[in-house]
Amino acid sequence: MILGIDEVGRGPWAGPLVVGAVVLGNAEIEGLTDSKKLTKKKRDALDVLIREKASGFGLGWVPAEEIDEIGLSAALRLATIRAVEQVKTPYNEIIIDGTINFLKETSKGKYVTTLPKADLLIQSVSAASIIAKVARDNYMALQDSVYPGYGFTSHVGYGTATHRIAIEKIGVTPLHRLSFAPLAKYRPEVATTTVLKTKITSTPTLKTTKQNGDSAESVAIEYLRDLGHDILERNWKTKFCEIDIVSLNDQTFYFTEVKYRKTAQQGGGLAAITAKKQQQMRFAAEFYAASHNLKAVDLRLTAIAVSGQPPVVGTYLEIE
C-alpha cells in the first residue's frame, strides 16, 4: 500500500503545476512507467485503467497566478499536499519522485521516502506521473479554444519557439507565469516602468550581460529539469573554472556550460567552448567528484546554446 507521488509542469511558461498521487493497492496494470516515455495514446489508455483499478488517487493543482504569488518551491509543496488530501484509501508508505520531501512540514512527512527516478522504478509513482500528465495535457488542450493563437495543445505551455513568437505577437494570458525569468518583462510593474522610462528618455531599457546570462541559465535549468535532471549546483566555482550547472540524471553527473546569444543568427556560442575551456571543465568535474567523495561515477560535459528575448534553448549537446 504505497502512495506514489510525482509532479508534472514544473518548467512550462504557462499553465498549472499538477501533482499526482496514487495508491495502486492490489491493482495490476501492465505498461506503467515514466509518463514521458509513453506515447499520448498509451498514456491516455493507462490513465483510464489507473482511475478504474487503483485503490485511490488524487490530483493537486496550483495555477499560474498562485505560482507567481508564492514561488515554485512553495507551489510544489502546496500541490503535493492538495493531491495527498484527496486520497482517502489507507497506505503505509509514501514515495516521492526526486530528492525533496514536499511533505516534510506536515504530519505525513516522516513516512516519506524520496527516490530519484521513482517514476521508472515504483509502479504507484509511475501511475501518479501518468494521471498528472494526462490531466494537465488535457487541460492545456482546452485552453486553445479559450486563448486561440498560442498552440497550447502542441507545446502544453513549454517555452518553444512557436510559443515565444505567439507571446511576442499577442501578449501574455492569465495562464502565463510572469514570475519566470523569460516572461518577467510582462509583469505589470515592469511593463509600466519600461513605458515611463521610454517616455522620459526615448531610450529602451536594456538588460545587462549578466542579466541576460542569468535568464539564459534559468531557462537551461528548467530545460534540464524537463529532461529529468536534478539540479545540484548553479554557478559552481573552482580554481579551474566556473561550471554553470551541475546536475544528476540516471546516476550520471552532468557539468553544463550555458552560452547565450541575443539572436540565433549570431551563432558561435558553442564555438566559444575551446579545447582549453573543455580541459578546465574536465578538471572541475573531476574535482567535484573528488570533493563529494563520488567514486566510479559517470561524469559528462555538456553545453546548452540559448538565444532570443525571452531566451529559448536551441541546442543541447555533449562535449566530446
What confidence tens digit (pLDDT) does each residue in 163-211 have? 999 999 999 999 999 999 899 888 876 555 444 444 433 344 445 566 7
Q: Output the domain CATH number for residue 290.
A: 3.40.1350.10
Domain end position, chosen among 144, 166, 192: 144
Distance of CA 314 to the CA centre of its chain: 16
Claim to verify: residue 214 and residue 296 sit in the same structural domain: yes
**Those residues with Cβ within 8 angstroms of residue 126's Cβ, 6 or more apart along the chain or in another chain:** 4, 6, 32, 33, 34, 35, 119, 120
Side chain identity, residue 157: G
pLDDT given at position 239: 76
Claim to verify: residue 130 and residue 181 sit in the same structural domain: no
Whether the predicted pLDDT of 67 surpasses 70: yes
Claim to verify: residue 85 and residue 47 sit in the same structural domain: yes
**Those residues with Cβ within 8 angstroms of residue 275's Cβ, 6 or more apart along the chain or in another chain:** none
Phi, psi of 216 (to 5 degrees): -65, -40
Domain end position, chosen among 201, 218, 246: 201
Which domain range does residue 192 map to?
Answer: 147-201
Claim to verify: residue 177 and residue 289 sit in the same structural domain: no
How many domains would you assign to the chain? 3
Cross-strand partners of 260: 306
Compute the distance between CA of residue 301 and CA of residue 247 in angstroms, rounded to an integer.
11
Q: Output the domain CATH number for residue 83.
A: 3.30.420.10
Give the model confidence (pLDDT) of 118-132 as tens digits.
Answer: 999 999 999 999 999
pLDDT given at position 227: 83
Total count of residues recorded for the chain: 320
Distance of CA 208 to the CA centre of its chain: 25
pLDDT given at position 291: 86
The sign one gets for the Cα dihedral 82, 87, 92, 97 is negative
> What is the DSSP pairing of strand 298-307 with strand 312-318?
antiparallel
Claim to verify: residue 10 and residue 80 sit in the same structural domain: yes
Claim to verify: residue 186 and residue 216 sit in the same structural domain: no
Contact 221, 249 (CB under 8 A): no
Contact 223, 315 (CB under 8 A): no
Compute the distance between CA of residue 112 and CA of residue 109 in angstroms, rounded to an integer.
5
Helix (H) or strand (E) holding 209: helix 209-226
Domain end position, chosen among 112, 129, 144: 144
Query: How many DSSP H helices and E strands does the chain contain?
Result: 10, 10
Q: What letter does residue 238 receive in the DSSP assignment? A: -
Claim to verify: residue 273 and residue 224 sit in the same structural domain: yes
pLDDT given at position 271: 63
Rg (C-alpha) for the chain, rounded Å, is 21
Whether the predicted pLDDT of 115 surpasses 50: yes
Claim to verify: residue 184 and residue 239 sit in the same structural domain: no
Give the model confidence (pLDDT) of 279-307 as tens digits.
Answer: 888 889 888 888 888 888 889 999 888 87
Claim to verify: residue 7 and residue 122 sit in the same structural domain: yes
How many other C-beta atoms lie within 10 A of the C-beta of residue 183? 21
pLDDT given at position 237: 86
Mean pLDDT of 229-244: 86
Claim to verify: residue 126 and residue 6 sit in the same structural domain: yes
Give the model confidence (pLDDT) of 27-41 as tens digits.
Answer: 999 999 999 899 999
pLDDT given at position 272: 63
Whether the predicted pLDDT of 215 surpasses 90: no
Cell numbers representing residue 303 in the block? 553545453
Sorting pLDDT into bands at 50, 70 and 90, what band is 141?
very high
Nearest Cα to Cα of residue 154 among 170, 174, 133, 140:
140
Give the model confidence (pLDDT) of 242-287 as tens digits.
Answer: 899 999 988 899 999 998 877 544 444 566 677 888 888 888 988 8
How many other C-beta atoms lie within 10 A of the C-beta of residue 198? 12
Cell numbers representing residue 160 in the block? 518553444
Claim to verify: residue 186 and residue 237 sit in the same structural domain: no
Q: CA 181 → CA 91, 101, 214, 215, distances in Å?
A: 39, 25, 9, 6
Distance of CA 178 to the CA centre of its chain: 15
Phi, psi of 29 (to 5 degrees): -130, 120
Sorting pLDDT into bands at 50, 70 and 90, what band is 316?
confident
Give the model confidence (pLDDT) of 72-107 as tens digits.
Answer: 999 999 999 999 999 999 999 999 999 999 999 999
Claim to verify: residue 140 and residue 197 sit in the same structural domain: no
